[in-house]
Amino acid sequence: MVQVTLPSGTSAPSGADQILALSRLTSGSTSIAVWVALNDFAPPSASPTSIQFEDTDSGIRQIAGVITLGRASDESAISGYKVYFGSSATQKLPPAVLPGLAYKLFVFPQSSSLPSLDGRAPTSEGVHASLDFVRQDFGSPEAFNTGFAIRWTGFLHIVTAGTYYFQTFSDGCKVYLHGDVLIDDDVFKTNASWSVGTSLFLEQGAHSLQVDYFFAQAAAAPEGTMLLNYWGTDSSDMWMPVPADKLSHGVNETDWIAYVSVSAQGTCELLRYGASFNT
């Protein structure tokens, strides 16, 4: 092995992100290079150097005032600063979940089983707080007398890990958890009825959920019903509809309090919460 020692304080030229090594041949030419990425052991700090805030709002759990932020010592690699609420000196609060399940409604004549909804343009879209649904929730059920289908997507939140039992009451549906079929009740019915129950062990946390439902005809099943029940520790070991606070369809990606660009000078208005920001 051949070793070359770079002395302490050697400056890396601007734009250098690799170290190359070539062999110099006796003819005076050089060989093809080998290289290694140049990872600076102590890169210039891109973190703000300080932050100050004093609450001037006397209301309980309400805040107002000016956040004063010390600029980073080197701003060449950053475009701006974001301010967050935190649960500790180093941990941001997790982004708030978006409550309810997202739905897509498809109005078209149905047959005796679930149609393929993949790639089909929905008639309308929105959010339902829970899976305790009747077709009158859409306001004009007579418009759907020839049949319709709905796909709900989102997440089921489990607080306490354990074995959970699930059952549906519907006109025909399939329930998927993490992409796997949890309940298959894909049958034509003259009236809504309970599915066969099923169970599985669920860890604490969010579990991806999809429910596909179809309503064949109003004359056969006038209500148009879809209900998802569960039983387990989170339901105090009793059957109950999955509550709205255990369902979500995503997270609020804009979870920061404010953003200000590095080019800003002086005091900038926060984009949220109506306070001010000093740079």
Q: What is the pLDDT of residue 165?
A: 97
Range of the domain at 116: 97-251
Q: Count of CB atoms within 10 A of residue 143's CB? A: 12
In this prediction the pTM is 0.61
Q: Which of 174 and 250 is assigned the larger pLDDT? A: 174
Q: Give one DSSP letter per residue of 152-203, joined into a string.
A: EEEEEEESS-EEEEEEEEESSEEEEETTEEEEEE----SS-EEPPPEEEEE-
Q: Which of 126 and 9 is assigned the larger pLDDT? A: 126
Torsion angle in degrees (nearest 10) through CA of 44, 46, 49, 52 = 180
Q: Is residue 188 predicted with pLDDT exceeding 60? A: yes
Q: What is the pLDDT of residue 78?
A: 79
**Inside any domain, residue 167:** yes
The CATH code of the domain that includes 119 is: 3.90.182.10
Report the pLDDT averaged over residues 165-177.
Answer: 93
Q: Which of 176 and 107 is assigned the larger pLDDT? A: 176
Phi, psi of 233 (to 5 degrees): -60, -40
**Inside any domain, residue 181:** yes
Whether the CB-CB separation of 236 and 25 falls below 8 Å is answered with: no
Where residue 14 falls among pLDDT bands split at 50, 70, 90?
Answer: confident
Q: What is the pLDDT of residue 42?
A: 59
Euclidean distance between CA atoms 95 and 100, whole angstroms = 16
Q: Which of 16-30, 59-73, 125-139, 212-226 bottoms out in mean pLDDT, i.e. has the lowest?
A: 16-30
Q: What is the pLDDT of residue 263?
A: 74
**Inside any domain, residue 262:** no
Model pLDDT for residues 47-91, shown as the tens digit of each residue: 888 888 888 888 887 888 788 888 888 887 778 888 888 878 777
Euclidean distance between CA atoms 142 and 136, whole angstroms = 9
Number of domains in the chain: 1
Q: What is the pLDDT of residue 262?
A: 73
Paired tokens of 29: 């030419």
**Inside any domain, residue 197:** yes
**Inside any domain, residue 53:** no
**Inside any domain, residue 80:** no
Q: Which of 76 and 229 is assigned the larger pLDDT? A: 229
Q: Of 70-74, 146-150, 184-188, which one has max mean pLDDT?
A: 184-188
CA angle at 187 for the pair 185 and 192, rounded to the nearest 5°: 75
Q: Is residue 10 predicted with pLDDT exceeding 50? A: yes
8-state DSSP, 86: B
Report the pLDDT averaged over residues 147-172.
Answer: 93
For all residues of the chain together, what is the average pLDDT? 80
Q: Is residue 276 predicted with pLDDT exceeding 70? A: no
Tokens 């343009």 -> residue: 121
Compute CA 106 distance to the chain's CA centroid, rounded to the nearest angstrom: 25
Tokens 């800003």 -> residue: 264
**Inside any domain, residue 34:** no
Percentage, residues of the chain above pLDDT 90: 32
Q: What is the pLDDT of residue 270?
A: 43
Report the pLDDT averaged over residues 238-264.
Answer: 81
Q: What is the pLDDT of residue 255?
A: 66
